[in-house]
Amino acid sequence: MSCASEYASQLRARGYRMTSQRLAILHVLRHEGTHLSPSEVYKKARLEMPGITEPTVYRTLEFLSDIALVRPSYNSSGHLTYEIAGDDHHHIVCRNCGNEMEVEHTLLESLYRLLETTSGYRSIDSHVTFFGVCPKCQTT
């Protein structure tokens, strides 16, 4: 399935249409397969769509985040990045070297259920970044 057909149906299901800007940004995020800053998304999307503007990329990323097609998170230096929403996961980032590892959501599911039970909120969704000192930095 192509990006266009996959994401167009998801947008339509939410009451929105697929625009060329949305398609270019979704295509970049899907095929890069990693977290990208808005500036990085802009640079890569411009290769596919030379007329796209940086403010359009920022607004579109916010929109796609609001409708849960992309997920925002923060990198080791605290800068906002985005990735395609998919498998729920979180991150642990080393405060010293910036090394990063993914944490499967299943490790935090009981915490999410506890939050829902105690707060009354439902369908809590977030992308958590933990900060600590990695094993390598602990020995140096």
Q: Which residues contact 32 (CB under 8 A, 6 or more apart)?
A: 44
- Provide the pLDDT for residue 89: 73
pLDDT band at residue 3 using 50, 70 and 90 as cut-offs: low
Q: What's the pLDDT tens digit per position in 76-131? A: 677 889 988 876 777 888 888 888 888 887 888 888 889 889 998 887 767 778 88
- Provide the pLDDT for residue 95: 87
Within a 13 Å sphere around the CA of 101, how many CA atoms are in the beta-carbon half?
7
Locate 104 and state its tokens.
Answer: 């499967």
Q: Are strands 129-132 and 89-94 parallel, antiparallel or unpaired?
A: parallel
Find the DSSP H helices in 14-139: 20-32, 38-48, 54-66, 109-119, 135-138
Asked whether residue 1 carries a pLDDT value surpassing 60, the answer given is no
Q: What's the pLDDT tens digit per position in 48-60? A: 899 999 999 999 9
Domains identified in the chain and CATH numbers = 3-84 (1.10.10.10), 89-138 (3.30.1490.190)
Q: What's the pLDDT tens digit per position in 10-68? A: 888 889 999 999 999 999 998 887 789 999 999 999 998 999 999 999 999 999 999 88
| Full-model pTM | 0.72
Q: By C-alpha distance, which of 23, 37, 123, 100 is closest to 69?
A: 23
- Provide the pLDDT for residue 57: 97
pLDDT band at residue 7 using 50, 70 and 90 as cut-offs: confident
Q: Are 85 and 26 in contact (CB under 8 A)?
A: no
